[in-house]
Amino acid sequence: MNSAQQRIDDWINLPEGVITLSLWDSLHDGHLLKIGSDLLARTVTLNFDVPYVRKFHKLSEQTEFVLMVTGVESVRLLGSAKGRGDFVFPKE
């Protein structure tokens, strides 16, 4: 396995050159609505409602912010929260 294919076991001390993306600054009070991924295209799509941004810019209540990240090789979740209410499987 060459360095480009090296498996990352240590997520605290990432190898040199690894690009990380933190969503905290822009989405700290947002609500994650939906997550999608395409393994072949190496993309992750996140749909958010960020009320304070929506209200500041006087956008409609239906406005969602969509973030698509390309060239994704790995995703790591550092924290989570239990959703409100019961989980319902989508009919789609």
pTM of the model: 0.62
Give me the pLDDT at residue 8, please. Answer: 55
Task: State how far the Cα of 86 lies from the Cα of 73, in Å rounded to an integer.
Answer: 32
> How far is it, in rounded angstroms, from Cα 1 to Cα 46?
32
pLDDT for 1: 44
The dihedral through the CA atoms of 12, 14, 8, 82 has a sign that is positive
In this predicted model, what pLDDT tens digit does every residue of 13-65 receive, in sequence order? 777 887 777 777 777 788 889 989 998 999 999 999 999 889 999 999 999 99
pLDDT category of residue 85 using cuts at 50, 70 and 90 = confident
H or E segment to which residue 70 belongs: strand 65-70
How far are the Cα atoms of 3, 7, 89 from residue 80, in angstroms, in the given order? Answer: 31, 25, 19
